[in-house]
């Protein structure tokens, strides 16, 4: 399967390119980049938190490429880059926290106070900044969540450049201003290849769309134990108590709690396969590449990004039903774990992710620099509403 790591858009519309003057850089010169992270988790999080983990890995990898990166995040973040603290601690850890929107506005205020310092601002959450084009340097926003429920009218009114994390993610909104598609990546040495074993693994959230109940059924029918590391969000607590809790107590099922990076390494490295029986349009699915980094194949349902990440018959199996997943467990012996690790190193490292984003940044900057000095006067605005 051909890797779709990055696709850079051509012909950004004028509305995507207004704002503070571009700080002129020679080709290849290091950039000054602001990474603006969600405040709900630290960067990286101590436990579950895919977006914040990716922001940490990206920030560090961009720094390794020679760029100057500043991370706007919670004060308890531990990424190895300069941090502009925007709240005392991750909001998830602060039970007495006020409306999180207040902290997000303060985060944006702190960014605006330093906006003239940066060549590029990279947002990973929120939408309020779309209203501040004229006060921001060139910027891009990575969409980390599902988009099939978003109103198209919103994107018709705001032409700011966006990055998708899979080709599948952007399917519901093909006509918005996509600046690129960049698959997530992990530090090459974060997780080590493991020997595998005689059990199956599930890692994620205990939520309806992640379908741990399907994973339990697949493992039971395949005759293998299932070990689970999973987070329980407050929004999913009632679902877990009503529909999942009794399944976690079934023979052959071991629930290990939320777990940390060390626990994830042990679980995935020792598993025969990761089960990923999702029932929603998964934007990316970081755990799939975490499994591949551990040399562990993935059995995943054909939803969202799965066919872009898992190469059927080489790094796992892409299936359409529980019956097919059970049959795939029986074919795991035909896969080479070394191939899983090799594909991770080829397609899903943090260095590859950083280089892809670097191309997106430079493409946006080149197009901004090519505009007239006063685009508001010399470029007609695009229509906001259909006539």
The pLDDT tens digits of the residues spanning 65-109 come to: 999 999 999 999 999 999 999 999 999 877 666 788 899 999 999
| Contacting residues for 159 by C-beta, under 8 A, at least 6 apart | 13, 15, 16, 176, 177, 382
Same fold, 14-187+349-378 and 200-346: yes
| Gap between the Cα atoms of 202 and 225, Å rounded | 11
Is pLDDT above 90 for 266?
yes
Which pLDDT score, from 0 to 100, does residue 159 have?
A: 86
Q: By C-alpha distance, which of 289, 280, 259 is closest to 350?
A: 289
8 Å CB contact between 161 and 19:
no
Which pLDDT score, from 0 to 100, does residue 158 have?
A: 86
8 Å CB contact between 262 and 302:
no
| Architecture field, domain 14-187+349-378 | 3-Layer(aba) Sandwich (3.40)
Is pLDDT above 60 for 182?
yes
Q: Where are the domains of the chain?
A: 14-187+349-378, 200-346
Which pLDDT score, from 0 to 100, does residue 126 have?
A: 84
Which pLDDT score, from 0 to 100, does residue 244 have?
A: 94
Fold of 200-346: Rossmann fold (3.40.50)
Total-model pTM: 0.88
CA angle 340, 341, 345 (to 5 degrees): 120
| Gap between the Cα atoms of 22 and 184, Å rounded | 28
């Amino acid at each position: 399967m051909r890797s779709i790591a990055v696709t850079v858009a051509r012909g950004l519309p004028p509305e995507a390119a207004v704002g503070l003057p571009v700080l002129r850089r020679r080709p290849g010169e290091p950039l000054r980049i602001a990474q603006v992270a969600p405040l709900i988790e630290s960067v990286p999080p101590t436990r579950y938190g895919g977006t914040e983990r990716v922001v940490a890995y990206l920030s560090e990898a961009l720094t390794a490429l020679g760029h100057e990166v500043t991370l706007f995040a919670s004060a308890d973040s531990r990424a190895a880059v300069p941090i502009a603290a925007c709240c005392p601690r991750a909001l998830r850890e602060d039970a007495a926290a006020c409306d999180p929107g207040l902290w997000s506005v303060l985060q944006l205020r702190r960014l605006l106070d330093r906006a003239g310092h940066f060549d590029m601002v990279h947002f990973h959450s929120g939408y309020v900044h779309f209203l501040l084009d004229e006060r921001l340097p060139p910027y891009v926003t990575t969409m980390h969540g599902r988009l099939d429920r978003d109103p198209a009218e919103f994107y018709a009114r705001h032409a700011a450049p966006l990055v998708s994390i899979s080709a599948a993610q952007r399917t519901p909104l093909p006509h918005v201003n996509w600046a690129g598609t960049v698959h997530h990546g992990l530090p090459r040495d974060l997780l080590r290849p493991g020997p595998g074993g005689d059990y199956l693994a599930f890692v994620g959230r205990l939520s309806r769309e992640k379908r741990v109940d399907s994973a339990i059924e697949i493992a039971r029918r395949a005759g293998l134990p299932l070990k689970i590391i999973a987070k329980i969000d407050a929004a999913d607590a009632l679902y877990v108590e009503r529909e999942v809790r009794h399944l976690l107590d079934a023979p052959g099922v071991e629930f290990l709690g939320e777990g940390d990076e060390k626990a994830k390494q042990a679980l995935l490295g020792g598993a025969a396969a990761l089960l990923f029986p999702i029932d929603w349009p998964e934007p990316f699915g970081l755990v799939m590449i975490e499994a591949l980094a551990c040399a562990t194949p993935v059995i995943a349902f054909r939803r969202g990004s799965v066919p872009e990440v898992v190469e059927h018959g080489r790094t796992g199996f892409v299936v359409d039903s529980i019956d097919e997943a059970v049959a795939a467990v029986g074919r795991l012996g035909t896969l080479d774990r070394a191939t899983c690790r090799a594909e991770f190193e080829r397609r899903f490292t943090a260095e590859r992710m950083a280089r892809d984003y670097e191309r997106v940044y430079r493409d946006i900057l080149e197009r901004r620099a090519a505009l007239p000095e006063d685009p508001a006067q010399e470029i007609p605005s695009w229509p906001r509403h259909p006539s």
